[in-house]
Amino acid sequence: MVACEGDDSYVLYEIIDGTTPSLAVAGKFAISNNLELAIDGVSETDGLTVTPAALPGDHEEGLIVQDGYNRMPQAPQNFKMMDWREVKKAIQ
């Protein structure tokens, strides 16, 4: 997976044999605002990680991304966590 800073999205590439990435795109997604929880979307990511370990906040599989601009509330950059299962659903 790579961050695409040009349009604030993420591109997932296929893994052929468990180790070799190919140029085939498996999916693309963005992390948008959640106005109900007053959480802004993610922009200008400089780093990310996916982990099979559970993360705080009921995230059984984890994705952590750096958010270059925190808008809700207005503050310096921060990190966002989400459940990797949501990403898998979105790209299928």
Q: What is the pLDDT of residues 29-80, one digit of tens each?
A: 888 888 888 888 898 888 888 888 888 888 888 888 888 888 777 888 888 8
- Give the model's pLDDT for residue 1: 80
In this structure, what DSSP letter does residue 84 have? H
- Residue 21 pLDDT exceeds 70: no
- Residue 28 pLDDT exceeds 80: yes
Distance of CA 6 to the CA centre of its chain: 15
pTM recorded for the entire structure: 0.76
Query: Burial level of 16, CB count in 10 A (0-12/13-18/19+)?
Result: exposed
- Residue 17 pLDDT exceeds 80: no
